[in-house]
Amino acid sequence: MDLVCGIDEAGRGPVIGPMVMAGVIVDANQEALLKKLGVKDSKQLMPKKREELSKHIKNIVKKYKVVIIQPQEIDEAVLSATSNLNMLEAKKSADIINFLKPGMVYLDCPSNNIDAYTQEVKKYLNDKKTKIISEHKADQNYVSVSAASILAKVIRDKEIAKIQQTMKEDIGSGYPSDPITQVFLTKYHAKHPHIIRKSWAPYKAIMDKEHQKTIGEF
């Protein structure tokens, strides 16, 4: 029976904490079972339900792989002259595919240029015969990608919880639009630089403001 792989990420946009990518490999029977359980795009599920489904997914799928990408590695890609976040995600997707070894892969594509993104993933594949179907909203259209999105989101939330446990200050959700995260960034960016994506606009804006203030003191 043909095995298919679904890959998705969680935490692409936050200014604090890692991005998490996950891949699962399933056959047709396991896909049917995942659908019966109510597996769908993680954004459509409450945290408690995601946590519950995550445990079932790990038991049902043939194999899964999770990759945690820390802020430093994200910054290296974003600030590089030869890379960017999409290219980093493509490379990590290929790493997951090389580990799981499926015949077919469904990818939730982060790029506007689907063909270019697909080719970027293929560039790193050990088995060039692997079929890749890359689409926008694949996490809504394919249950294998939905399952991967749930694993990625649950692990990303746990990573944020771990960070929060080590902090005396509230970091919020880690997203730039979160007022609590904004306050944390402004007050404590110098104290906790390792958890922050320094290539993100909110951090750059704070550094620009501090630089302007320093110049004004002359």
Query: Distance (Å, rounded) from C-alpha 149 to C-alpha 160?
Result: 16
Number of domains in the chain: 2
Query: Distance (Å, rounded) from C-alpha 86 to C-alpha 191?
Result: 29
Question: pLDDT at position 214, please?
Answer: 58
156 and 171, same domain (yes or no): no
14 and 53, same domain (yes or no): yes
148 and 175, same domain (yes or no): no
Residues whose CB is less than 8 angstroms from the CB of residue 169 and which lie 6 or more positions away in sequence, other chains included = 184, 187, 188
113 and 172, same domain (yes or no): no
Q: Which amino acid is at 78?
A: V
Single residue among 122, 137, 165 that ends a domain in this structure: 165
Residue closest to 138 by CA, chosen among 11, 23, 20, 14: 23
72 and 140, same domain (yes or no): yes
185 and 134, same domain (yes or no): no
- 7 neighbors 93 (Cβ within 8 angstroms): yes
51 and 134, same domain (yes or no): yes
106 and 183, same domain (yes or no): no
The segments of the chain whose pLDDT lies below 50 read 218
Single residue among 123, 143, 165 that ends a domain in this structure: 165
CATH number of the domain to which 203 belongs: 1.10.10.460
Give the three-class secondary structure for 142.
coil
26 and 92, same domain (yes or no): yes
152 and 175, same domain (yes or no): no
178 and 117, same domain (yes or no): no
Query: Distance (Å, rounded) from C-alpha 100 to C-alpha 27?
Result: 13
CATH number of the domain to which 73 belongs: 3.30.420.10
150 and 204, same domain (yes or no): no
Residue closest to 9 by CA, chosen among 76, 65, 83, 82: 65
Q: Which amino acid is at 143?
A: V
Question: pLDDT at position 217, please?
Answer: 55
What range does the domain containing 200 cover? 167-216
- 9 neighbors 21 (Cβ within 8 angstroms): yes
Q: How many CA atoms lie within 13 Å of 76's alpha carbon, on the beta-carbon side?
A: 7
Query: What are the start-end ranges of the H helices in 68-200?
Result: 71-79, 85-100, 114-123, 138-141, 143-166, 179-188
Single residue among 165, 184, 199 that ends a domain in this structure: 165
Sheet holding 104-108, edge to edge: 63-69, 19-26, 4-10, 104-108, 131-135
